[in-house]
Amino acid sequence: MKIKFMSLKKFHYYSGLLILTFISFHLLNYLNSIFGADKHIVLMNTLINCYRNIFLESILVIAILIQIYSGLKMFLKKFRIVNTLFEKIQIC
């Protein structure tokens, strides 16, 4: 039996989507303040259950660590392959 693991690029992609989801809800909360402070507070109190959930916080921190690790690993791998200065600047 052969176990297939997700590639580093896919891991990077999915952890990025998770972080994007969190940031979207966070920005939506602040955008909601346009409609009044009372509506902002209501939404903030609703979302705070997710923000302060230890399980979700842990997943978010792990996603950020995955982004850092996988991003550096892919950057260094690609940086060693390219030859010209222009290609190296494109990676950065």
Summarised one tens digit per residue, pLDDT across range 54-73 is 999 999 999 999 999 998 98
Alpha-carbon span 67 to 71, nearest angstrom: 6
CB 32 within 8 A of CB 47: no
Name residue, tokens 């600047």.
89
Summarised one tens digit per residue, pLDDT across range 34-58 is 998 898 898 889 888 888 889 999 9
